[in-house]
Amino acid sequence: MKTRKKIYCPICGNSGLRLVFEYTSPPKGETRFKFSSDQVYYRKILQCNMCGHFISMHDMNITALYSGDYVNATYRDEEGLYESYKKIMNLDPERSDNVRRVRRILDFSNTFFSGDVPPHRIRKVLDIGSGLCVFLKRMKDAGWDSTAIDPDGRAISHAIHHVGVKGFCGDFMVLQSEEKYDLITFNKVLEHVSDPVKMLSKAVSNSSPGGLIYIEVPDGEVAAAQGKERQEFFIDHPNIFSFSSLSLMMMRAGLLPLCIERIKEPSSKYTLLAFGRVCG
């Protein structure tokens, strides 16, 4: 007889989860990755009854997703990636999620680092999962020493050659670097990994003492009220957050949450964002 494996919330460890949505075909607008076209599509969204966190469960094989399939399916190749980069850089600032993000981070950092000695030293930012690198381009223009890390070689080649920032190609979890960063950013990254607490803890170890970490994740609570077709619940997100699960994840990783906000972005995404200070 097949025994059912017990499922635990990856954020609070609770085993009480309820079924929220079920899918027998991809929701409208979901990118058709190779793995989901070849296999029977079945997926469900569960919600933790303690911290409100959502998880997406399925048995489809996603091993190759971020080392190639993601760029293949989303941008085709490096040229396609560069074209998308130029298109987003030219968006009307009022319609750009990224312009608002950069403004928000620069405003917060200016206050956060205002007591530093010397006050105007060049600060270092590391962006995890840099993708198109639109964010780091603007941070570089604002005077930050900027470094990208992404598992896809084409994304890093683009970051170095077109954007002019430093770059590491590979899995952040195995990055070995003595470099310490004043700011580490996770712009829509932690929802893509199976153990977000572990990834955030790794970032804490790459931060300067008392450094700042910025996080954006999909807001499952607001999105769920709008129904199962919302992009926040698409297949490439094993984790979708609640206000409580985001703050709990930060504390478990060794971060003091300084500010958490929920927003609706110009692109219509429902997002939770947070700034946390590295403890110790």
Does residue 223 touch Zn ion according to CB under 5 A?
no
- x/- binding map, residues 51-90, to Zn ion, per CB under 5 A? x-x-------------------------------------
Q: Are 220 and 53 in contact (CB under 8 A)?
A: yes
Task: Name which of 126, 140, 132 is nearest 88 in CA terms.
Answer: 132
Minimum separation from the CB atom of position 85 to Zn ion (A): 37
Q: Which of residues 107-136 bind Zn ion (CB under 5 A)?
A: none
Strand partners, 263: 271
Question: Is the backbone peptide bond immediately before 118 cis, with ω within 30 degrees of 0?
Answer: yes
The structure tokens listed for 115 are 């007591």
Between residues 53 and 101, which has the closer beta carbon with respect to Zn ion? 53
What are all long-range contacts of 1-5, with beta carbons under 8 Å and residues at least 24 apart? none
d(CA 175, CA 151): 11
Between residues 131 and 220, which has the closer beta carbon with respect to Zn ion? 220
Give the angle 95-131-174 at the CA atoms, nearest 5°: 145
Does residue 12 touch Zn ion according to CB under 5 A?
yes
Between residues 20 and 73, which has the closer beta carbon with respect to Zn ion? 20
Does residue 142 touch Zn ion according to CB under 5 A?
no
Q: What is the DSSP letter of 30?
A: -
Does residue 222 touch Zn ion according to CB under 5 A?
no
Q: Which stretch binds Zn ion (CB under 5 A): 24-32, 45-53, 94-102, 200-208?
A: 45-53
d(CA 58, CA 147): 34
Between residues 11 and 199, which has the closer beta carbon with respect to Zn ion? 11
Minimum separation from the CB atom of position 11 to Zn ion (A): 5
Does residue 91 touch Zn ion according to CB under 5 A?
no
d(CA 129, CA 121): 26
Q: Which stretch binds Zn ion (CB under 5 A): 6-14, 165-173, 182-190, 203-211?
A: 6-14
Minimum separation from the CB atom of position 244 to Zn ion (A): 8
Q: Are 261 and 243 in contact (CB under 8 A)?
A: no
The structure tokens listed for 77 are 């190749």
Between residues 45 and 51, which has the closer beta carbon with respect to Zn ion? 51
Does residue 240 touch Zn ion according to CB under 5 A?
no
Using CB under 5 A, list all residues that contact Zn ion: 9, 11-12, 14, 48, 50-51, 53
